Amino acid sequence: MDVLTQLAHGFAVALTPLNLALAFAGAFLGTLIGALPGIGPVNGVAILIPIAYALKLPPESALILLAGVYYGAEYGGRISSILLNVPGDAGAVITTLDGYPMAQKGKAGEALALSALSSFIGGTLSVVGLTLFAPLLAQWAIRFGPAEYFALMVFAFTTLASLAGRSPVKALASSVFGLMLATVGLDPGSGVPRFTFGQLKLYDGVDFLIVAIGLFAISEVLVLMEQTFLGRGGAIRVETTLVSLKTFLASLWSILRGAAIGFFIGVLPGAGASIASAIAYTTEKRLVDREGTFGQGDPRGVAAPEAANNAAAGGAMVPMLTLGVPGSGTTAVLLGALMMFNVTPGPLIFQNRPEVVWGLIASMYIGNLMLLVLNLPLVGVFARILAIPRWFLVPAIATLSFVGVYAVNNSAFDLLFMTGIGVWGYLMRKFGFPLAPMILGLVLGRLMEVNLRRALAISGGDWGILFSSPIAKVLWILALLSLFFPWLVGRLAKAR
Q: Which residues bind another protein (CB under 8 A)?
A: 51, 54-55, 166-167, 169-170, 172-173, 176, 179-180, 183, 187, 189-192, 194-195, 218, 221-222, 224-230, 389-392, 394-396, 398-400, 402-403, 406-407, 412-413, 415-416, 419, 422-423, 426, 430-432, 448-449, 452-454, 456-457, 460-461
Cβ distance to another protein smaller for residue 460 or 464: 460
- Minimum CB separation of residue 179 from another protein in Å reads 5
Cβ distance to another protein smaller for residue 105 or 430: 430
Cβ distance to another protein smaller for residue 187 or 287: 187
- Minimum CB separation of residue 424 from another protein in Å reads 12
Cβ distance to another protein smaller for residue 108 or 405: 405
Residue among 270, 269, 274 at smallest CA distance from 308:
274
- Minimum CB separation of residue 197 from another protein in Å reads 9
Q: Compute the Cα dihedral for 148, 154, 160, 166 and give only its sign.
A: negative
Contact (CB, 8 A) for 303 and 259? no
Sequential DSSP letters for 343-384: ---STTHHHH-HHHHHHHHHHHHHHHHHHHHHHTTTHHHHHH
Cβ distance to another protein smaller for residue 220 or 306: 220
- Minimum CB separation of residue 222 from another protein in Å reads 5
Burial 135-151 (b: 16+ CB within 10 A, else e): bebbeebeebbbbbbbb
- Minimum CB separation of residue 180 from another protein in Å reads 6
* Cα–Cα distance, 159 to 329 (Å, whole number): 13
Cβ distance to another protein smaller for residue 69 or 94: 69
Residue 309, CA atoms < 13 Å, CB-side half-sphere? 35
Contacts of 447 (CB under 8 A, 6+ apart): 149, 153, 324
* Cα–Cα distance, 71 to 34 (Å, whole number): 9
- Minimum CB separation of residue 422 from another protein in Å reads 8
Cβ distance to another protein smaller for residue 140 or 463: 463
* Cα–Cα distance, 206 to 173 (Å, whole number): 19
Phi-psi region of 135 (alpha: psi -120 to 50; beta: other; left: phi over 0): alpha
- Minimum CB separation of residue 182 from another protein in Å reads 9
- Minimum CB separation of residue 423 from another protein in Å reads 7
Cβ distance to another protein smaller for residue 310 or 401: 401
Contact (CB, 8 A) for 48 and 76? no
